[in-house]
Amino acid sequence: MTSIVEAKDLRVHFSTSGGAETVKAVDGVSFAMNRGETFGVIGESGSGKSTLGRAVVCLLKPTAGAIRLDDADPYALSGAAFRKNRRDYQIVFQDPNAALNPRMRIRDSVREPLDILGEGTRAERNARAVAVLDRVGLRAEFAERYPHELSGGQKQRVNIARVLTLRPKLVVCDEVVAALDVSIQADMLNLFADLQREFGLTYLFITHDLGVVSHISDRVAVMYLGKFMEMGGADDIAERPLHPYTEALLSAEPVPLPSHLRSGQRIVLQGEIPSPISPPSGCRFRTRCPFAEDICASSEPEWRELEPGRYVACHFAGQVTKGRKS
C-alpha cells in the first residue's frame, strides 16, 4: 500500500529583513507516513515542527523538495480541485481560543465547513454538526453557546469537531493538548485514540511533550533546527535513543517518580537552539552536543537507516548514547 504522506527533501524557507536573510524553518526532511498510524514529531521551539505540519496540509508551499499526498502531487491540481483535495488533510491548532470566531455560536462554527462544501439542506447540515459535537463529547446544549462560555478543553473539542465534519483522512495535531491541564489532556488523548479507531484517521502529532508523544505515537521523529535527527518506533526511540539529541531531550524531561526510582543523572544541554538563519556547519546539533568532534563541524552526517526502520543523522549514532534514565 502506498503512503498517505511522502516528503522528499522537503524545504520551507522564509525570507526576512526585506529578503536579505533566509530562515530555513524546514531544511531537507524526508519521511513517509503509513495509513492509520500516529506519527509523532518532537522538538524544541524553533525546530520547524509547526512549519512542517503546515506544509503537510498545504498551508505552506514547499520552497524546494516535494510533498505527495496519497501518491499525488497536490500542487499539480488547479484551484477548485486543489481545494477539494485539501479537505482530506486537516489541521487542529494549539490555541483553542484563536481558532474559533468569538461572535459565532458553536453550532455555526462547526457547520461552517459544510456550508462552504454546500452539501444538503441547512437543516441537514445543522443535524450533522450537532451529531459530530455529540461524538466529541459535547451535548446538544453546547451547540447554542458562544466560545467564551466554554472551557479550554471544550473549545478544543469543538475544533476537533469542525475538522471531523469533513471526514478527513489525515489530521495534523499541532500542540493540541499543550494548553490543557493534565486531567483534561488525558481525556483529549483518549478521544483522539477513539476517533482514530472509529474513522481510520492518520495523525501527524506535533508536540514538545515527550510523555504525550510516546504515549500516542506509533513512530516518532525528532526534529532539530529544520532537520530530522532521528526517526523510529516510539518504544525504540524512548528506550534506546541513537542520537545524542534524543537522549538529551529524554533526559531533560522531569519525571514524576519518587527519588529512589530516578537515576538522577540528567544530561543538561548547554546553550540554546541556534538561529535557523545561519545554522552551524556540518551537524546542526554539534554546538550543543557533548560528543562533538572535528568531523561534526566539517561534514554533515548522512540520514541513514542504521537498523530496519530506524533512521538517524549522526556520525557516531548508537555509539555514544547510553539508553534512558529510570
Residues of the shown chain interacting with other proteins in the complex, contacts defined by CB under 8 A: 44-45, 151, 153, 181-187, 189-190, 193, 208-212, 214-216, 234-235, 248-249, 251-262, 266, 268-269, 272-273
Residue 279 contacts residue 203 (beta carbons within 8 Å): no
Rounded to the nearest whole angstrom, what is the least distance from the CB of residue 29 to other proteins in the complex? 20
CB 259, min distance to other proteins, A: 6
> Which residue number, 255 or 306, has a Cβ lying nearer to other proteins?
255
Tell which residue, 192, 204, 126, has the closest CA to residue 165.
126
Instruction: Determine the longest span between alpha carbons in the chain, in angstroms.
Output: 68
180 within 8 A of 153, measured Cβ to Cβ: yes
Burial 52-70 (b: 16+ CB within 10 A, else e): bbbbbbbebebbebebbbb
CB 308 within 8 A of CB 322: no
Query: Which residue lies nearer to other proteins by CB, 96 or 153?
Result: 153
We find the least distance from the C-beta atom of residue 286 to other proteins, in angstroms, to be 15
Q: Minimum Å distance from CB 196 to other proteins? A: 10
Q: Which is nearer to other proteins, 128 or 266 (CB)?
A: 266
- Alpha carbon of 269 to those of 202, 242, 288: distances in Å? 33, 17, 6
* Residue 72 or 252 having the CB closest to other proteins: 252
- Nearest distance from C-beta of residue 117 to other proteins, angstroms: 33
Closer CB to other proteins, residue 70 or residue 236?
236
Q: Check: CB of residue 177 under 8 Å from CB of residue 93.
A: no
Q: Detail the DSSP E strand segments found in 137-184.
A: 170-174
